[in-house]
Amino acid sequence: MKIIDARVVVSSPGRNYVTLIVETEDGVIGVGDATLNGRELAVASYLRDHICPLLIGRDSRRITDTWSYLYKGAYWRRGPVTMTAIAAVDVALWDISGKVAGRPVYQLLGGAAREGVMVYSHASGGTLAELSEDFQSHLDQGYLAIRAQAAIPGLEKTYGIAPADGKVYEPASGNMPQEDIWETSTYLDFAPKMMAHLREEFGYKVHLLHDVHHRLSPIEAGRLGASLEPSRMFWMEDATPSEDQSAFRLIRQHTTTPLAVGEVFNSIWDCQQLITERLIDYIRTSVSHAGGITHLQKIFALADLYGVRSGSHGAGDLSPVALAAALHVDLTIPNFGIQEYMGHRDQAAEVFGTAYTYRDGYMHPGDLPGLGVTFDENAAARYPYDPKYLPVNRRLDGSIHDW
Ligand code: EZ4
Ligand code: CO
């Protein structure tokens, strides 16, 4: 099972995706997602210039050995670019192994531990009334868990609000990042009212989630968590800039609102303290940014030991390959919590063929051999790379804040 080719395709079917394609001497093809939103070409180069040449001639079955070879062999540790590149290789090799075995990847990971994977969708609105309308439409689609974000009155732009034309929000287009304005006190007053409004209107049966997107200090996060307690949140996401793990000690002292973090993490070392000190309830690392299936399994196994559940990142900038890989992992682990599901733009379906299904709030990766995702290189060629940046955030005085 020698690898004879490894190539990278950067395309933009609705938004930018970097896809790794690995081919064996027997003609088996595996795919991996290497998309790092706003820094796509850095990972593409890391793969093309430094990793693909090393893969040629390697045995595709030796997944753990290849992971260690790329991680330890680089000498330089961790980092989003490196770990996204390694993740793409790892996922492609699991895909190949599944196809060779004639079994879906989840069966190689220990088999299904549940019938389906509970997912949460995104509801948003420019006003509370619009949010309610969008929330209702997600309930109508059967979602059991919904993340809610609304425009903050008095602020020009707010993170996480879908444009009027579509189902998902997008970062600004163009060759410069869009600039947002942030005011913490306005947000801190508004967020609990938004959640209380939803509970009044829709009751307590649906799981309610909210993403703070790294904008608060630990004591502000403690205050927000406490003021959200009557709304009985499923979780409060990314309350503080997440590289400071010990900040969560302070948040924990002030609230029983469950805490989730991890979408920008890229290794088990980023969450070690959070997990072993039981400072969080959900670890949100993604398969494509945290070293692939092999490394994610390790993170979730550590989390299981400390009663922390999974809640993998699944935004639209993670390609259908990443979503499929996440669903295979989700189905098998004992401490699965929830999976984010934002969906993809319609054009993505022309490039990525998927076997996963959604019904009544749950997803399933499907039973095709491997990941169950095909990648159409000809279709991808119709959607050339379209450089885009995530927005930046400034406070009222013009200083840069976390976005
Ligand atoms: O802003 O994926 O929970 N989801 C999120 C996302 C992130 C983007 C960054 O690329 O916070 O929408
Ligand atoms: Co988030």
Which ligand gives the minimal distance to the CA of 37? 1
Give the pLDDT score at 167.
Answer: 56
Give the pLDDT score at 234.
Answer: 99
Ligand 2 centroid distance, CA of 261 (Å) = 8
Strand 352-354 and strand 373-375: the pairing is: antiparallel
User: For ligand 1, atom 4, which residue shows the shortest CA distance?
Assistant: 315
Look up the CATH number of domain 108-368.
3.20.20.120
Which ligand gives the minimal distance to the CA of 237? 2
Q: Give residue for tokens 């922390």.
A: 308
User: For ligand 1, atom 12, which residue shows the shortest CA distance?
Assistant: 315
Give the pLDDT score at 156.
Answer: 79
* Segment 107-134 mean pLDDT: 97
Ligand 2 centroid distance, CA of 262 (Å) = 8
Tell which atom from ligand 1 comes closest to the C-alpha of 37. 10
Ligand 1: residues whose CB is within 6 Å?
Answer: 37, 211, 213, 263, 313, 315, 317, 340, 390
Residue 169 phi/psi, 5° resolution? -85, 155
State how far the Cα of 45 lies from the Cα of 20, in Å rounded to an integer.
11
Confidence check: pLDDT of 174 > 90: no
* Residues near 246 by beta carbon (within 8 Å), at least 6 away in sequence: 273
Give the pLDDT score at 347.
Answer: 96
> 343: part of which helix (H) or strand (E)?
none
Confidence check: pLDDT of 171 > 90: no
User: For ligand 1, atom 10, which residue shows the shortest CA distance?
Assistant: 37
Give the pLDDT score at 155.
Answer: 84
Give the pLDDT score at 165.
Answer: 58
Determine the residue of 17, 234, 242, 313 to mutate for testing ligand 1's pocket, defined as the one with the most ligand atoms within 8 A of the Cβ atom.
Answer: 313
Domain ranges of the chain: 3-104, 108-368
Confidence check: pLDDT of 173 > 90: no
Tell which atom from ligand 1 comes closest to the C-alpha of 238. 11
Ligand 1 centroid distance, CA of 55 (Å) = 31
Give the pLDDT score at 169.
Answer: 67
Q: Which of 216, 178, 158, 157 is nearest to 401 (CA)?
A: 216
Give pLDDT tens digits for 313-365: 999 999 999 999 999 999 999 999 999 999 999 999 999 999 999 999 999 99
Ligand 2 centroid distance, CA of 246 (Å) = 20
Cβ neighbours of 344 (radius 10 Å): 22
Which ligand gives the minimal distance to the CA of 340? 1
Q: What sign does the CA torsion over 87, 337, 362, 137 have?
A: negative
Domains 3-104 and 108-368 fall in the same CATH topology: no
Crossing angle of helices 218-228 and 184-202, rounded to 10°: 20
* Angular region, 345: left φ>0, alpha ψ -120 to 50, beta rest: beta
Split at pLDDT 50, 70, 90, the class of 29 is: very high
* Segment 138-143 mean pLDDT: 98
Q: What is the pTM of this model?
A: 0.97
Identify whether the C-beta of residue 33 lies closer than 8 Å to the C-beta of residue 363. Answer: no
Tell me if residue 213 is catalytic: yes
Confidence check: pLDDT of 163 > 90: no
Ligand 1 centroid distance, CA of 356 (Å) = 21
Give the pLDDT score at 166.
Answer: 55
Split at pLDDT 50, 70, 90, the class of 157 is: confident
Tell which atom from ligand 1 comes closest to the C-alpha of 318. 2
> 24: part of which helix (H) or strand (E)?
strand 17-24
Give pLDDT tens digits for 255-314: 999 999 999 999 999 999 999 999 999 999 999 999 999 999 999 999 999 999 999 999
* Residues near 110 by beta carbon (within 8 Å), at least 6 away in sequence: 332
Confidence check: pLDDT of 31 > 70: yes
Ligand 1 centroid distance, CA of 315 (Å) = 6
Tell which atom from ligand 1 comes closest to the C-alpha of 237. 3
What CATH class is the domain 3-104?
alpha beta
Amino acid (one-letter) located at 371: L
Determine the residue of 147, 242, 263, 403 to mutate for testing ligand 1's pocket, defined as the one with the most ligand atoms within 8 A of the Cβ atom.
Answer: 263
* Residues near 56 by beta carbon (within 8 Å), at least 6 away in sequence: 3, 4, 5, 6
129 SS3 class: helix
Alpha helices in 78-157 (DSSP H): 80-101, 105-108, 128-140
Tell me if residue 383 is catalytic: no
* Segment 233-237 mean pLDDT: 98
Determine which one of 46, 143, 159, 356 is catalytic. Answer: 159
Cα angle, residue 261 at apex, residues 218 and 232 outer, rounded to 5°? 80
Ligand 2 centroid distance, CA of 240 (Å) = 11
Cα angle, residue 294 at apex, residues 290 and 300 outer, rounded to 5°? 70
Determine which one of 213, 214, 295, 328 is catalytic. Answer: 213
Q: Give residue for tokens 């406070």.
A: 395
User: For ligand 1, atom 2, which residue shows the shortest CA distance?
Assistant: 315
- DSSP secondary structure string for all residues of 25-51: TT--EEEEE---TT-HHHHHHIIIIII
Give pLDDT tens digits for 180-234: 899 999 999 999 999 999 999 999 999 999 999 999 999 999 999 999 999 999 9
Identify whether the C-beta of residue 345 lies closer than 8 Å to the C-beta of residue 320. Answer: no
Confidence check: pLDDT of 131 > 90: yes
Give pLDDT tens digits for 77-88: 999 999 999 999
User: For ligand 1, atom 11, which residue shows the shortest CA distance?
Assistant: 213
